[in-house]
Each structure stands twice: as C-alpha cells, then as structure tokens.
C-alpha cells in the first residue's frame, strides 16, 4: 500500500455536508459523482496528497443508508492506494483477511476498488483503490 487515498465519510445530506466541508477545508470539492451500483452520491475534496470522500445514500437499501441507520454520520472507511489491486487482493487473502470483493469493481473517481471485511481488519472497513488505466 502506497498511501492513504481517501477517508470515506457517510453523510445524511450532501448539500449541507458540502457546505460544512468547504468551510472546514477552505476550498470547494473538485468532483461529484453518482455510483449507481452502490446506491451512493459521492463528493471529493483534496487535502494534500489525500482526499475526503463524502458519501450520501441514494436509496434506503444502500450500504451507506444502512451504516447511517446503525451508527449515524461519520467515518465510514479508509481507502489505500495500491499499485496492483489484483496482487494486493491475493496477498491479503493469503494473509488471512476476508474480502468483501474477491475481484475489483469500478468505483468513483476513476478507480478500481475492493473492500476488506471489517471483521478481519480490526473493525475498520478498508478499501483498496487503483487508478483505472
């Protein structure tokens, strides 16, 4: 893993949260995107070499809606930038980690992504990210 790519933050209201983060970070977001397959609207802010990703559910069955229902708004996941997501998935599986995704899928911000199950990563939802070519 090369660096922290982003922190994902679950929010109830994207418009209100966008205003909050624009004021907090002193700059506007650089990108918004809907990820239909995950039932989520995303918004990204750059913070140095890393990013903050706001996540708003688009339907009550999305993972973000379920997360907010159980835990409320807040940090949802930590994402790490990897050079080769396929090799990293295999390395982690061989090391005993449980994957939610055994193969990468398309995610927001031009990334291939895969998640580790928080049961095997100390209660933290971990996302692997690789730039799509």
Q: How far apart are the first and last CA of the chain?
A: 18
Q: What gap in Å lies between CA 8 and CA 10, rounded to an integer?
A: 7
Query: What does each C-alpha distance from 44 to 26, 52, 55, 58 come to in angstroms?
Result: 14, 6, 9, 17
**pLDDT for res 97:** 97
Residue 1 — very low, low, confident or very high, per pLDDT cuts 50/70/90?
confident
Using one digit for the tens of pLDDT, what is the confidence trace for 85-96? 999 999 999 999
pLDDT class for 116, splitting at 50, 70, 90?
Answer: very high
């Amino acid at each position: 893993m090369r660096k922290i790519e982003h922190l994902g933050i679950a929010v109830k209201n994207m418009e209100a949260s966008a205003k909050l983060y624009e004021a907090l970070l002193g700059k506007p977001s650089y990108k918004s995107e809907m990820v239909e397959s995950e039932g989520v609207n995303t918004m990204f802010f750059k913070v140095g070499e890393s990013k903050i990703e706001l996540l708003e559910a688009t339907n009550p069955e999305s993972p973000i809606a379920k997360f907010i229902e159980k835990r409320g708004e807040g940090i949802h996941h930590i994402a790490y930038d990897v050079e080769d997501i396929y090799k990293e998935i295999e390395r982690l599986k061989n090391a005993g980690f449980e994957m939610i995704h055994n193969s990468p899928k398309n995610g927001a911000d031009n990334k291939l992504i895969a998640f580790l199950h928080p049961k095997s990563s100390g209660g933290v939802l971990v996302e692997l990210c690789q730039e799509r070519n």
